[in-house]
Structure 1
Amino acid sequence: SLPGYRWMGDLSSDKFTSLFYSLGIYWELCADAAHRQRAADLLDRFVGRVIDDHFRLVDLDGKMTLWGNFCPDLPHQPLNSLEMLAGLKVCHRLSGKARFDQAYHLLIDRYHYDDHQLESKVIWPQEWRNRWDDNHAAKSLFMLLRYEEDRSLLLKYRMNLNRHWHVWRTHDFSFECDALYVLLYQALTGENVLTPERIQAVKDLWGFERRESEFRIPSTQGVRRVRAMEQKSNCTLIQTYWFGRYYGLIDPSW
């Protein structure tokens, strides 16, 4: 490896989604002409490599990573179909290269990813729901619903958003992203879903969280108790707040 570099191995679909989402937002709102090109080039190399590896995240050993399966010839989750369509759409928007649009329509026309993605939100049984998966679906739908121009595809992506909203609207704001989902749904649909209860939940968002935790570590001499400080990031608060401010959903006086 190159001196001074550390490599992230076993890359997952989570990182794939976070990369196209963050670079896409950066390209839209922050980057000047030079940095727009750098963002586009980076996503071009990354997503282009995934296409070349038949829609799989492949590690340095030439094998597909544990959670890197978007391949149409392998069974995969509906959420992965949604994420891949969003990644290709964003990459085409940033780079302008036809290969990404061609890959996007290949997955739709031949492999029906547009239908498969409809079930990316598990409704029942409740025990199978994964609330962190909502974060990746929200990022993907946010990009697709703003970039797609085909009405039939927009309807399918909206159906997926409605399926997520069926569950999101029942959340009690105990999860750090719950408020963001409410704001994102209103921003994408124009429906006024900010009830007084939800507005109060947005106002009550917390930032840094720091607490002391105790860990029990088994050893040959028995169980050792170790106490340590634990600190959580406040990036979700920052993202939620400025998302709401940008779309005029959060009053600065809050």
Structure 2
Amino acid sequence: MPLSKPDRSLVEPVIRRLNLLRPLSAEARASLEYAMLEGIQRAGAGEDLIADGDPVDSVRLVLSGWLCRYKTLEDGRRQIVNFIFPGESCDAHAFLLAVMDHSIATLTPVVYAEIKRARFESLLAGAPSLAEAFWCETLVNNAIQREWAINLGRRVAVERVAHLFCEIFERLRPVGMVEGNSCMMPVTQMDLADATGLSVVHLNRTLQELRASGLIILRERMLTIPDLDALKNAALFSPSYLQIYRGAEATL
């Protein structure tokens, strides 16, 4: 039975992003769509989908909402090591390991598709293009982690925050989450501080500096970037590590 239009629109962010990384066959798209629609789940903001040390027996694909990967020190200090956006997976190949080495929490209400390991492995075995797309996503995630390491280790505060905003904008663009030069920014200053290794006070001063320079407008949970090239220059940002243009010829 063909999917109805509302159903397909629900899973479209995942299909669009994977298809950009590696063009999917029609059979691969259909198989993944059915598997996702059978495993739709919802979670509220501030929930752990999986915690550090938990066993992994499924793959979670984000359909809407924002999440973060994080680690917590024994004294309670938290470091966000990445954000997870619509269209992305929560570690597609994590089930190959015994347990999770970090936690994944929702920052907003989230809708996601949960596919059990056996079903997921069967999907990949029957669709080489799908397997390649998920491996591409894993490689892109590794590249993102390298950029975040550079952010924390070498970029100054203004560059760190500007780089994060550029990355968020470019990661949201392929899945239709950008309107003109604006995108949603539903995270708190505490979240941004934990992602950039800054104190909340230092993060606030940095945001004020970016605003005063005319590089960003941050108002009512919306980020507007008046001149994306100028912000990229301030951040020393190049989007090549995101691989968002390599499959630009792919269409749904």
TM-score range normalised by the length of the shorter chain: under 0.3
- Structure 2 length as normaliser, TM-score? 0.26
Relative to total residues, which structure has the larger strand share, 1 or 2? 2
- Structure 1 length as normaliser, TM-score? 0.25
Of structures 1 and 2, the one scoring higher in RCO (CA 8 A, sep 6+) is: 2
Relative to total residues, which structure has the larger helix share, 1 or 2? 1
